[in-house]
Amino acid sequence: MHNGAIMASELGHLVDRGSEYPLVRLTALRDAEAARTLRTALLDVLAEQPEAVLVDVGQLPLPAPETAAVLRELRDETADWPGAHLILCDARGGEAWPGVGWPTWPSVPEATTALGKPDLDHRFTLELEPALGAARRARELITEACARWDRPDLAGPACIVVTELVNNVVVHARTPMVVLVATHGSGLSVAVRDRSTSVPTFSGSPVPPTSYGGRGMLLIDSVADRWGTLRLDDGKTVWALLSADGNEAHETSMRNAVRG
């Protein structure tokens, strides 16, 4: 029984969100346009931050240069992304995909067994409209998550991050958004996905408060270990990774931060 959507395409891929881990099955990749569609599909699944994304490439005839190129590009593009990464499934092994860089398992069941059960209690999502009070609701989610996961020291910096990300959407993007928070070792990630392709600017120097990103991205940079933007065809996800080890270095920035 599937509780997620399965979408078929004439371009030869299926996306199954009803499995334990999202599963993308590739059956054909006929041209460059199909490769671009594949990239869009994979980024869309990655942006939801599951623990892993399985990509079954076993039915693709070799060589498949378009597919390999897309997978290599995604590897480079998501190198710092704290969300899920791809796992290839192919009985022919990793040598069938030289230079791609993703781990490869012989089959989907074997990859699923190796991963174990996904820990759904360690990732939360919240859908919000770009309206007054959105940042407050996002902070409530962060506070609850940090308390449940026994990460009280990360609640402050994570609330700063989510406030600035949500307020950027409310003021600039003005689209519905999804807030994602998940554990990563002793730390956690905070991300906000919206439907605007405009990307916040950041130069590391003072910027006008009305610019997209403005002072908010400076604040995020001061409290996060790293942050970035995952560009999607229908919008973007801006994310930040925070670790418990970095908290002491960020205390001054937190004291001076003003929550929106």
Distance CA 43, CA 36 (A): 11
Check residue 246 and give its pLDDT. 55
Task: Provide the β-strand partners of residue 153.
Answer: none
Query: Using CA of residue 46, residue 40, residue 179, residue 2, what is the dihedral sign?
Result: negative
By C-alpha distance, which of 137, 176, 177, 143 is closest to 158? Answer: 143
Q: Are 257 and 219 in contact (CB under 8 A)?
A: yes
Distance CA 154, CA 163 (A): 14
Within 15-124, residue ranges assigned H as helices are: 32-46, 65-77, 108-115
Within 51-174, residue ranges assigned H as helices are: 65-77, 108-115, 134-148, 152-168
Q: Are 22 and 16 in contact (CB under 8 A)?
A: yes
Interacting residues of 34 by C-beta distance below 8 A, sequence separation 6+: 11, 12, 28, 66
Q: Look at the chain and count its residues.
A: 260
pLDDT, tens digit only, all 260 positions of the chain: 334 443 444 446 678 888 889 999 888 776 777 778 888 889 989 888 888 999 999 988 876 788 888 899 988 888 888 888 899 999 999 988 988 999 999 999 999 999 998 888 899 999 999 999 999 999 999 999 999 999 999 999 999 999 999 999 999 999 999 999 999 889 999 999 999 999 887 655 555 544 444 467 888 999 999 999 999 989 999 999 999 875 443 443 333 333 33
Check residue 224 and give its pLDDT. 94
Distance CA 121, CA 250 (A): 27
Distance CA 73, CA 255 (A): 40
By C-alpha distance, which of 232, 164, 176 is closest to 202? Answer: 164
Q: For the chain, which domains are there?
A: 6-115 (3.30.750.24), 120-256 (3.30.565.10)
Query: Using CA of residue 122, residue 142, residue 213, residue 255, what is the dihedral sign?
Result: negative
Chain centre to alpha carbon of residue 197: 15
Check residue 213 and give its pLDDT. 47
Kindly state the greatest CA–CA separation across the chain: 57
Distance CA 169, CA 58 (A): 40
